[in-house]
Amino acid sequence: MHQASQTAPLPKDQFQRQALLTIAKSQEGKLRRVAQSIVKCPHLADDIVQDTYAKLLTAQIDTEVATPSAFITRIARNMAIDKVRQITFERTLFADSDPTDLCPAGNADCPEARLSGCQALRVIENALKELPPHVRTAFYRHRVDGFAQNVIAKDIGVSKASVCAYIHQADQRCRQALHNVELTRPA
């Protein structure tokens, strides 16, 4: 009794599912862009692409899909819209309990971007604390309060060129601090 080593052909619904998964894989970049245009976060967009694969694996597909590309894109788009609705709902539910709302980066649509923005602000704040008071004052008055350099110069009793140099010094210190943090993060 010799058994053939051939595998039985896939049932029609499994064949279609496999074809949809293959098309989804070939359009992964497009799906990511569609999702990111809605959720505004690359990390969430990646999650949505993975969720799209999961949906294709588990969805009951009774009829033949005439336009597989559009079908798959619609699934990713709908999942992204659902994610935005979920995030919006959660923000309204927990608005009073989220301490990162006080952070200027708290308006970011993406939790990872929000956290990253808050961390960057802490790094900048610490870098500015290390500067001499007159440099820090010139920087804050110009960059935060929006005063012109000549007004700051008159108020603190130095030349406009000195104020410009102070602001430049503070800018450089902030950039260097952010750069140093990037170098120490694990890849």
Spatial separation of the C-alpha atoms in residues 12 and 17, rounded to whole Å: 9
Contacts of 174 (CB under 8 A, 6+ apart): 124, 127, 128
* Cα 35 from chain centre: 12
Which token pair is 1? 């009794």
Q: How confident is the model at residue 9 (pLDDT cuts 50, 70, 90)?
A: low
Spatial separation of the C-alpha atoms in residues 67 and 15, rounded to whole Å: 15
Helix (H) or strand (E) holding 182: helix 160-184
Residue 148 Rama label (left phi>0; alpha psi -120 to 50; beta): beta
Contacts of 150 (CB under 8 A, 6+ apart): 160, 163
Spatial separation of the C-alpha atoms in residues 77 and 63, rounded to whole Å: 21
Q: How many alpha carbons fall within 13 Å on the CB side of residue 79?
A: 24
- Confidence (pLDDT) at 50: 93
Q: pLDDT tens digits for 70-117?
A: 999 999 999 999 888 887 777 776 555 444 444 444 455 567 777 777
Size of the chain, expressed as the number of residues it contains: 187
Q: pLDDT tens digits for 133-166?
A: 999 988 888 888 778 888 888 888 999 888 888 9
Residue 121 has pLDDT above 90, yes or no: no
- Confidence (pLDDT) at 10: 52
Which of 79, 63, 66 is CA-nearest to residue 31? 79
